[in-house]
Amino acid sequence: MFIALDDTDSTEGMCTTYLTALILRKFRDMNLKVDRSGMPNLVRLNPNIPYKTRGNGACWFYIETEKSNGSEKEKIKRTVLNFLKKYSRFDDENTNPACLFLDDEIWTRNFEILNKFYKKAVSELCTIEEADRIADTIKVEIHKFKNGRGLIGCLACLGCDFSDLTYELLVYRTEKNFGTERRIDEESVFEMHKLFYPGTFDNVNTEEYKPVFMPHGKDPILCGIRGNGIEIVNKAFSVIKFKEEISFTQIFRTNQHTDAHLMSKKISRLKQHDAAIIEGTVTENPKRIAKGHTFFKISDDTAGITCAAYGVTKLKDIAINLINGDILRLYGGIETYKNTFNIEKIEILNLAKIYKKENPVCPKCNIRMKSEGKEKGFQCRKCKLRFKSDAAKFIETARNLKPGIYEVEPGHRRHLSKPLCRYKI
């Protein structure tokens, strides 16, 4: 039986992964078999959605049950619902929990429907009404609370095909430490990075020399070690020195850092809250405003759009050096402002050429001639030899950019954004 959970947390605390891990610990105490690997799944969805609490992630796991044992299934369902009701942050107006229970044969028979819904939910805006229709179509048992928006994530996460995947080892705090400063030996974190990067990634920002795998809120997570395999995140965990008591750990299979949210689109097809890859030519030179935020415009053969590289990331320094005529592929999406594309990665496909105008050199005196004025030609200061204005030379000057992909640094990167260190995987 498949079990999915979503939207149980809030900006003030809790975490759906924590609730999932607590339920799994309870099931292990009940001697229930969790999946074939014993591993739950964390599926991130569209990061541009306005209703998300923090990371817009839903969780699912699988419990092996006997088809004929209806009482066991009911006991499992009661346990899940009791945990959800106990730990979900119902007091937050933006928290709208849901969970669902789905038998194997229904999941197998309807995976194509779920996968289609996942692909939309990871890159576009989905409605509760859409989720309700799918739930009715496939006859899934759902439990919704408040407005039930969490049903969107519950259904979508079960459609993730994990065509690309990563793992995250989550370390959970003891309850007495919730809301207090997180205490980890930072040098051990950099030692971990030194030993295992790029097998582990996005755990430190080497330029700012700080760990970036610890959340800042009141949620129960101490840190999350991201990597490409189960063995390597376990090895990385063994290197880190913790300065506070750990409650427990849990590894999740995830779609994080895979660019699963990015679908290629023409600019005219973009809608608010879309995540996308667009290509176009710079048609308006960059402008920088307060805090370093940098804006420029690109156009394709269908439309144009303003693009933003924000001041907290180094992409602003790439963006400010673009010029009209540069051809780009941009990775990102539209969030609050419907006519602004927020950039996650910039890929420079072709750089426009810049030419510097130089006055001709006098062939007799071997000195640079002076301009007589616009369209009036040139004259040698020494021998007074004259040349027409078309004698000027145009020399190509070097750009301080090169074709290639430029990314946001760790700590500012979204959960789904694929770092360059994973591009060969």
Rounded Cα–Cα distance for residues 279 and 241 (Å): 45
Alpha helices (runs of H) in 15-174, residue ranges in sequence order: 16-29, 70-87, 104-121, 128-138, 150-157
| pLDDT above 70 (res 129) | yes
Q: How far is the CA of 155 from the CAs of 54, 60, 423, in angstroms?
A: 19, 10, 29
Tens digit of pLDDT for each residue in 345-404?
Answer: 999 999 999 999 899 999 999 999 999 888 889 999 999 999 998 888 899 999 999 999
The predicted pLDDT at position 33 comes to 80
Mean pLDDT of the chain: 95
Tens digit of pLDDT for each residue in 409-424?
Answer: 999 999 999 999 999 7
Tens digit of pLDDT for each residue in 110-126?
Answer: 999 999 999 999 999 99
Mean pLDDT on 194-212: 97
Q: How far is the CA of 411 from the CAs of 32, 98, 230, 407, in angstroms?
A: 38, 30, 22, 12
The predicted pLDDT at position 375 comes to 82
Three-state DSSP class for 65?
coil
| pLDDT above 80 (res 38) | no
Rounded Cα–Cα distance for residues 224 and 92 (Å): 25
Mean pLDDT on 144-164: 97
DSSP state letter for 34: B
The amino acid at residue 210 is K
Rounded Cα–Cα distance for residues 79 and 39 (Å): 18
Closest CA to 155 of 89, 111, 108: 111
The predicted pLDDT at position 68 comes to 60
Sign of CA dihedral 13, 15, 16, 19: negative
Query: Tokens 């954004």, residue?
Result: 417
The amino acid at residue 72 is E
| pLDDT above 80 (res 54) | no
* Prediction pTM value: 0.92
The amino acid at residue 218 is K
Q: Are strands 275-288 and 221-227 parallel, antiparallel or unpaired?
A: unpaired
The amino acid at residue 181 is E
Q: Does domain 166-254 have CATH number 3.90.1300.10?
A: no
Query: Tokens 């049903």, residue?
Result: 151
Give the residue, 170 or 290, on which the prediction is more confident.
170
pLDDT band at 425 (very low <50, low <70, confident <90, very high): low
Q: Are 58 and 6 in contact (CB under 8 A)?
A: yes
Tens digit of pLDDT for each residue in 299-328?
Answer: 999 999 999 999 888 999 999 999 999 999
Give the residue, 134 or 92, on which the prediction is more confident.
134
Closest CA to 122 of 43, 234, 195, 54: 43
pLDDT band at 37 (very low <50, low <70, confident <90, very high): low
Q: Are 98 and 158 in contact (CB under 8 A)?
A: no
The predicted pLDDT at position 184 comes to 98
Tens digit of pLDDT for each residue in 177-201?
Answer: 999 999 999 999 999 999 999 999 9
Sign of CA dihedral 76, 82, 86, 92: positive
Q: Which residues contact 161 (CB under 8 A, 6 or more apart)?
A: 115, 118
pLDDT band at 36 (very low <50, low <70, confident <90, very high): low
Mean pLDDT on 22-50: 89
Query: Tokens 């990102």, residue?
Result: 332
Q: Does domain 263-351+403-422 have CATH number 2.40.50.1010?
A: yes
Rounded Cα–Cα distance for residues 257 and 417 (Å): 5
Q: Are 174 and 249 in contact (CB under 8 A)?
A: no
Give the DSSP per-residue string, 362-421: PTTT-SBPEE-STTS-EE-TTT--EE-GGG-EEEEE--S--SEEEEPPTTSS-TTPPPGG
Q: Indicate the CATH number of 2-157 among 3.40.50.300, 3.40.190.10, 3.40.50.10420, 3.30.70.2200.
A: 3.30.70.2200
